[in-house]
Amino acid sequence: MPTVVADLDIESLPSSLLGLGTYRGALILLRLRGVPFGQVWLPAVDGQVDLSGLKDQAAELIDPAVWQRIVRAELETPASGGCAALADVTVAVCTRDRPLALEGCLTALGRLDAQGHELLVVDNCPADDHTREVVSKFTNVRYVREPRPGLNHARNRALREARRSIVAFTDDDTTPDPAWLRSLVINFDDPRVMCVTGLTMPSELETEAQELFERYSSMARGFTRVVYDSTTLSPALGGRVGVGANMAVRRGLVDDIGPFDPALDCGTGTRSGGDNEYFTRILCAGYRIVYEPAALSWHCHRASRAEVRDVMYGYGRGVYAAWTRSLLIDRELTVVRAAVGWLSRVQGPGLVRALLRRPATMPLDLLAAQLVGCASGPFAYLSSRRAANLTTGVSDG
């Protein structure tokens, strides 16, 4: 039975959610004056979810920092106080043969409450002209075709094509919130910040597979704004700061730490890991990354168990491929500790619990797929480098 996803502000809560039919419950994103601050899972009884006690429950979730974000959003605009102007931002959508999803994403970007930015679509090794046709329906959207397959090739093309100093990336299967871009960009007022990531929530939980993905591999990183650097987080654990489907970087960063590694992520044998590895490189270079939960985007998870199993395999492969890259290219020895720690403290105990069928444990088939992916990651990276004709360092000219 599915779970309904609701988006509610506690200052205007209804007494209940009605007419839910076969939904067994609700995942509720909670906001205060538009700012996300928490989430709750509530059961449905006879087609409705009782919200009468939600205000008291929500009050316990509100972090004092939420009020700071509210005040900052109201008093400080991206064009003031040293913050980067929105007119200096390129929003880049990297896409490959998903025209329907792209149309929904571009429609959402048209509803952003901040304007003046550039909007760029990078069409990665398309099989036909359907993506170009979708883009032609929208005004002020620039279309670029990148013939080399691979998400990181598309990201690097976006960085080269962008006419602004900050590039905000979103995927074609996401729906950015109206305040998404403004909330990302406002964090670049600190010159030491080279990257900002945001909160990514599920747009729907209509299948068991989508629910499993959200429970065991959520893209969300919590509701507290965090400033990361190498003194507060091991660079090898860069994946904790956010996801590539919801991030912004300074375009000039390429001149300092290089481009995204084209041997990593979707469209290559490594399957994923391109964002994780770039976060690691940013932290290793001594810069800061901000996780900003006010920068909200909604992601459409894969709907079938087979698809989620494949995603978990790809995630495992990508993480270990990224760590292999960090070790071989950057000589980042902390990745060895991270890999051993993940296996001994997370995956190993998780496998034991799954075999014993303990409650609240990742299903065995998903965990097994992830472990197999992890084991194949180092070999996948080496093979992907050869396929990309990379010998030393990273090049994506």
pTM: 0.94
Instruction: Please report, rounded to a whole number, the percentage of residues in the chain having pLDDT higher than 70.
Output: 95
Burial 345-365 (b: 16+ CB within 10 A, else e): eebeebbebbeeeeeebbbee
Q: Is the pLDDT of residue 393 over 80?
A: no
State the average pLDDT over residues 289-306: 97
Q: Is the pLDDT of residue 81 over 50?
A: no
Residues 6+ positions from 338 with CB-CB distance below 8 Å: 234, 236, 237, 323
Tell me if 221 sits within 8 A of 241, measured CB to CB: yes
Nearest alpha carbon to residue 212 among 363, 379, 13: 363
Structure confidence at residue 80 (pLDDT): 46
Give burial (CB, 10 Å; 0-12/13-18/19+) of 170.
buried
In which band, very low, low, confident or very high, does the pLDDT at 113 lie, cut at 50, 70 and 90? Answer: confident
Structure confidence at residue 69 (pLDDT): 74
Structure confidence at residue 70 (pLDDT): 77
Give burial (CB, 10 Å; 0-12/13-18/19+) of 22.
exposed
**Would you list the domain boundaries of the chain?**
3-65, 76-304, 307-387
Structure confidence at residue 391 (pLDDT): 57
In which band, very low, low, confident or very high, does the pLDDT at 19 lie, cut at 50, 70 and 90? Answer: very high
State the average pLDDT over residues 374-397: 83
State the average pLDDT over residues 65-86: 63
Tell me if 31 sits within 8 A of 53, measured CB to CB: no
- 120-175 pLDDT, tens digit per residue, is 999 999 999 999 999 999 999 999 999 999 999 999 999 999 999 999 999 999 99
Q: Report residue 105 CA to chain centroid gap.
A: 14
- 179-201 pLDDT, tens digit per residue, is 999 999 999 999 999 999 999 99
Q: CA 188 to CA 170: how far, in whole Å?
A: 18
SS3 (DSSP) at 233: coil
State the average pLDDT over residues 190-213: 97
Nearest alpha carbon to residue 350 among 326, 317, 333, 374: 374
Higher per-residue pLDDT: 30 or 391: 30
Question: Per mean pLDDT, which range of 95-104, 111-120, 164-173 is the poorest?
Answer: 111-120
Give the CATH H-level superfamily of domain 76-304. Answer: Spore Coat Polysaccharide Biosynthesis Protein SpsA; Chain A (3.90.550.10)
Q: In sequence order, what DSSP letters do the residues of 130-150 get, joined into one string? A: HHHHHHTTSTTEEEEEE-S-S
Mean pLDDT score across all residues of the chain:
93
Q: CA 356 to CA 372: how far, in whole Å?
A: 20
Structure confidence at residue 396 (pLDDT): 72
Question: For residue 48, what is the DSSP state?
Answer: B
Structure confidence at residue 71 (pLDDT): 76
Report the sign of the C-alpha dihedral through residues 121, 127, 132, 134, in that order: negative
Residues 6+ positions from 28 with CB-CB distance below 8 Å: 6, 7, 8, 39, 40, 41, 42, 54
Q: Is the pLDDT of residue 108 over 50?
A: yes
In which band, very low, low, confident or very high, does the pLDDT at 256 lie, cut at 50, 70 and 90? Answer: very high
- 265-278 pLDDT, tens digit per residue, is 999 999 999 999 99
Task: Name the pairing type of β-strands 49-50 and 89-95.
Answer: unpaired
Count of CA atoms in the C-beta half-sphere (13 A) of 261: 37
